[in-house]
Structure 1
Amino acid sequence: MKRILIAIAVLAAGCTAADSPSAPAADTRDGQIRYETTMCFGTCPVLDVMARMDGTVTFSGFRPRVSEGDAQVTETYQVDPAVLKQLVSDLEEGGFSALLDNYNGADVCPQLATDGPSKIVTVQAGSIDKRVNYYTHCWGFEDEAKVKAMLAEVERVLMIDEKTAAYLPTDR
């Protein structure tokens, strides 16, 4: 019994040593930015784009197409890390962390229609650890211009339109 207690004490001490102040903590300031879109009832692309702060971007996407069959791709490309850091800084200054988590539903959207995709941005970099889900057929809410401007900037920096057109062309 004494050996079991000693073993438990040694294991417990080993577990807490990693949590001690002398252990190096992971630097969450390096972080990542994730951009996603959801499916609609048509040919909207479904995207999952992950940008690491070192500039590596992984673009995964799917687009249903009528005549040519569905398009699907996963591609990796580079974005200037300084541009990503500036994006995080702009989002911090613009109040990204203060946005609602969800812009969807009658309680948030004075005007709401069906059959639209959502755009979801998750930022875990700098001082931000936040996920914002914006349903694209939600209109007339207080922060609408701010949300759309921040999404547009993320899309610009990650080259969403350019990569979607190149990798997932529509057949219409």
Structure 2
Amino acid sequence: MTGFMRGSVMGAALILAGCAATDAGTGRPRPIEGESITYETAPCFGTCPVYRVTVNADGSGTFEGRRFTAVTGERAFTASPDVYRRFAAALEPYRPKDGDLRYENGSSLCGPAMVSDMPGADVRWSEPSGASRSIHFYYGCDRGDDGKMRRAIADAPQLLPIAAFIGKR
């Protein structure tokens, strides 16, 4: 193999590696091209921002402000694929191996609930095959992990370029 061909193969491998993430269940790389993540906040008994944001692996996305956001209605945005990968990586530890999980009052996944008027978030991973997995997480759940899961899910949207749509809090 010539040096040029070896360099081309190495370059292609690096590019393809950028289109993969690690599956939480198996630890093996999985392709992310064509994948999307939808993150939707749930209301609280106050003025918590309520919105839905969907971001695709290529960085294209849609924000829909519903209540208590700086922008109401739908807005498109663009982020880099690297921003998508960081967003996906922040949520990956909580991605179900299959199906849907609900962390809410009365669920064995929740543990004792701290308070009853906290908001929550729904996260849905949609795969190119049409399959999807999701979690619903109520921020009042005490999982005994010092709030690690709660913070990771609540902070993930800060990685996306949507702060101006949400507004100051």
Short-chain TM bin: 0.5 to 0.7
**In structure 1, which of residues 58, 65, 77 is the aligned counterpart of residue 62 of structure 2?**
58
Q: Tell me what 2:105 maps to.
A: 105
- Matched position secondary structure for 2:83: helix
**Which runs of 5 or more residues in structure 2 are unaligned?**
1-30
Q: Tell me what 1:117 maps to.
A: 119
Q: Tell me what 2:20 maps to.
A: none
**In structure 2, which of residues 28, 43, 49 is the aligned counterpart of residue 45 of structure 1?**
49
Letter of the 1:53 counterpart? A
Q: Higher helix share goes to which structure?
A: 1
Letter of the 2:78 counterpart? Q
TM-score normalised to structure 2 length? 0.62
TM-score normalised to structure 1 length? 0.61
Write the deviation string for residues 77-111 of structure 1: whole angstroms up to 9, x where unpaired. 1111122134435644x353359711101342313
The verdict on how the C-alpha distance between 1:155 and 1:40 changes in structure 2, with shifts beyond 3 A counting, is same
Write the deviation string for residues 26-52 of structure 1: whole angstroms up to 9, x where unpaired. x97411010101122221221111111
**In structure 2, which of residues 103, 114, 135 is the aligned counterpart of residue 132 of structure 1?**
135
How many residue pairs were aligned? 135
**In structure 2, which of residues 24, 31, 34 is the aligned counterpart of residue 30 of structure 1?**
34
The verdict on how the C-alpha distance between 1:71 and 1:141 changes in structure 2, with shifts beyond 3 A counting, is same
The verdict on how the C-alpha distance between 1:122 and 1:164 changes in structure 2, with shifts beyond 3 A counting, is same
Q: Tell me what 2:95 maps to.
A: 96
Let me know the Cα RMSD of the aligned residues.
Answer: 3.5
Are the counterparts in 2 of residues 61 and 74 from structure 1 also a CA contact under 8 Å?
yes
Are the counterparts in 2 of residues 55 and 80 from structure 1 also a CA contact under 8 Å?
yes
Q: Give the fraction of aligned pairs with identical amino acids, expressed as a percent.
A: 25
**Which runs of 5 or more residues in structure 1 are unaligned?**
1-26
The higher radius of gyration belongs to: 1
